[in-house]
Amino acid sequence: MTDIRSKIEKVLKEIMDPELHISLWDLGLIYDLHIDEKGNVEVIMTLTSVGCPLFGTIQGDIEEQIKKIKGVKKVTVELTFEPPWSIELMSEDARAQLGI
């Protein structure tokens, strides 16, 4: 499972937020990742704001890209707003790209 997890993390580092063009990973939008022994994956994530209309697009990108990984059977993306997202969750690279 460690190999699958590292591949999933790599994919999440490559999926860009459609508005900011920074990876979901670097924005700190990915809160948790669960992989069971059958290859089912659950991604727990948030958005930069509660009213963001792009969840469907982001969710589809995540599911499509992770399903390409050998050993992954099913992908579920759960949206949460607890804890609320803040700029402190962003990587240094993301902050630099946004001039923060």
User: With bands split at pLDDT 50, 70 and 90, how would you rate the model's confidence at 1?
Assistant: low
Whether the pLDDT of residue 2 is over 80: the answer is no
Compute the C-alpha angle 49/52/54, nearest 5°: 140
Cα dist from 56 to 47, 63, 66, 97, 98, whole Å: 11, 11, 15, 25, 24
pLDDT tens sequence across 14-39: 999 998 999 999 999 999 999 999 99
What is the three-class DSSP state of 14?
Answer: helix
Average pLDDT over residues 43-64: 94
| Per-residue pLDDT at 51 exceeds 90 | no
What's the predicted TM-score (pTM) here?
0.91
Tokens 């579920």 locate to 76
User: What band does 73 get if pLDDT is binned at 50, 70 and 90?
Assistant: very high
Ordered by where they begin, the domains of the chain are 2-92 (3.30.300.130)
Position 52 scores a pLDDT of 85
What lies within 8 Å, CB to CB, of 48 at 6+ separation is 17, 20, 27, 29, 85
